[in-house]
Amino acid sequence: MAARLPSTIVEEESIGGQLNDQRRVHFSPAKGFAGLQGYDRQSKTMSHATWGMNNTPFQQPNNPPRTSNFTDTSHFVESNGLGLRPAMNALFPAGYGQRKAKDRIFWVFPPENDRRVSLLLRWINDMNQAIGVYGLQKFLQSRERGALVTNANYRKPGHETEPAWDWLTFDQLQTSRDKTFQELVACYDPAEIVVVFVYLPSESGRSVAMWRRKIPVPAHVRQTHQRQIDEVKHHLRRFEEYVVHVDEYVYMFCLILGRN
């Protein structure tokens, strides 16, 4: 059973202690990483904290109409992976010697440091009902837990005032080795909560700042499509089979998390 969640949109600060099922956490072996000599994490972090302070912000996205029509999500722009390209090296580095998630993905920066981010988060808050419908549709189409993600610095040509979205499944997010990504997607009922990640890549593309939101799926939409929801959820993996992969230590253990 999924954790009980508030009916309003909240930013997830910490999910430790919110689950009470066993969660297997796999740690990748610690290795000496080639190519990181002289990497100054503090200076890199400080540069992230001031991203966009002098940049020209994008225009406030137009508000598409709120809808109770489950099939009418045509007003959402999809990136088709193009928005992810500038952040691929930070989110999903490939090969031996990849940097740890904590050196690539940063969750602590205030959104008001960059107007592009603050405006996008405000738009998400205003559009919560439509996003809830859109996210549920993506879950049912993919038949797997996942999250909506959007690049605060990317606009699809011809849609400069609209955010462009991608849907990433749990297995795709697992390759990031980021604990927050995986736990948020694994821990909540995808028919009730849509997990949204907003990201802003650094200019080099080696690091990315992240923000997260949880969007409730409108109750009347769930009720209307309950049969389809039940069929998809019946074929999901068991909760304990969603294994969180991280790279912070050298052994494996079972992390016990509490759920309401």
- pLDDT tens readout for residues 15-37: 333 333 334 444 333 332 222 22
| CA–CA separation, 89 and 77 (whole Å) | 24
Which residue from 129, 149, 134 is spatially nearest to 196, judged by alpha carbons?
149
Q: What is the mean pLDDT of the chain?
A: 75
Q: pLDDT-based confidence at 221, cuts 50/70/90?
A: very high
Mean pLDDT, residues 51-66 taken together:
44
- pLDDT score recorded for residue 75: 80
**C-alpha dihedral (131, 136, 139, 145), degrees to nearest 10:** 80
CB within 8 A of 225, min separation 6: which ones?
70, 136, 140
| CA–CA separation, 128 and 218 (whole Å) | 9
Q: If DSSP codes are grouped into helix, strand and coil, which group holds residue 194?
A: strand
Highest-scoring range by mean pLDDT, 18-32, 83-97, 156-170:
156-170
Question: Does some domain include residue 55?
Answer: no
Question: Does some domain include residue 87?
Answer: yes
Which residue from 67, 76, 59 is spatially nearest to 120, judged by alpha carbons?
59
The token pair that represents 28 in the structure block:
């990748």
Neighbours of 13 (CB within 10 A): 7
Question: Does some domain include residue 7?
Answer: no
Which structural domain, as residue segments, surrounds residue 199?
Answer: 82-241
The token pair that represents 95 in the structure block:
């090969």
Question: Does some domain include residue 182?
Answer: yes
Q: If DSSP codes are grouped into helix, strand and coil, which group holds residue 201?
A: strand
Helix axes 226-234, 128-142, angle to 10 degrees: 50
pTM (predicted TM-score): 0.73
> Is 167:148 a contact under the CB 8 Å cutoff?
yes
CB within 8 A of 259, min separation 6: which ones?
1, 2, 3, 18, 19, 20, 21, 187
The token pair that represents 110 in the structure block:
């205030």
Q: If DSSP codes are grouped into helix, strand and coil, which group holds residue 111?
A: helix
The token pair that represents 1 in the structure block:
């059973």
Count of structural domains, the chain:
1
Question: Does some domain include residue 175?
Answer: yes
- pLDDT score recorded for residue 98: 77
Question: Does some domain include residue 106?
Answer: yes
Question: Does some domain include residue 123?
Answer: yes
Question: Does some domain include residue 10?
Answer: no
Confidence check: pLDDT of 77 > 80:
yes
- pLDDT score recorded for residue 240: 85
Please give the helix or strand (H or E) that residue 78 lies within, else none.
Answer: strand 77-78
